[in-house]
């Protein structure tokens, strides 16, 4: 079984997220999503509309996602890759190069984002975030 892993906040779930998850799953048989906890998002300067548990429920309902685990810090990725036997690490191309150090442990793939949609754009349009 080929295992794939990605990470993210996945707040205000939208079709760009679904596209990313679908394409990530196409690299293997089993997709693991490291979902940023509310506490870790605070460290990153992010505030979520939905709680961790609500975002986890949404991800678990998506047919491409096989397992959701908490992402609590930047440093956990190597441990997660080894613990879950990950073969392919997938992230959006806005992170290109940032995770190349993981290539000692698995294949790294950066996928293009869906350009016309983002959580930040949605939050700005509905007034949850200022420009």
List residues with catalytic annotation.
44, 46
For strand 30-36 and strand 3-8, is the pairing parallel, antiparallel, or unpaired?
parallel
Q: Cα–Cα distance between 123 and 56 in angstroms, integer? A: 20
Measured between alpha carbons, how far is residue 14 from residues 91, 112, 128 in Å?
16, 15, 16
Q: Are 38 and 52 in contact (CB under 8 A)?
A: yes
């Amino acid at each position: 079984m080929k295992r794939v892993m990605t990470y993210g906040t996945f707040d205000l779930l939208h079709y760009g997220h679904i596209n990313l998850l679908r394409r990530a799953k196409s690299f293997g048989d089993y997709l693991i999503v490291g979902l940023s906890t509310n506490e870790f998002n605070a460290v990153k300067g992010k505030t979520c509309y939905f709680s961790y548990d609500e975002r986890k429920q949404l991800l678990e309902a998506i047919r491409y996602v096989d397992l959701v685990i908490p992402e609590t810090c930047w440093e956990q990725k190597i441990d997660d890759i080894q613990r879950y036997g990950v073969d392919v690490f997938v992230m959006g191309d806005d992170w290109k190069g940032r995770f190349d150090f993981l290539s000692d442990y698995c294949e790294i793939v950066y996928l293009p984002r869906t350009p016309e949609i983002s959580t930040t754009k949605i939050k700005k349009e509905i007034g949850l975030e200022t420009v």
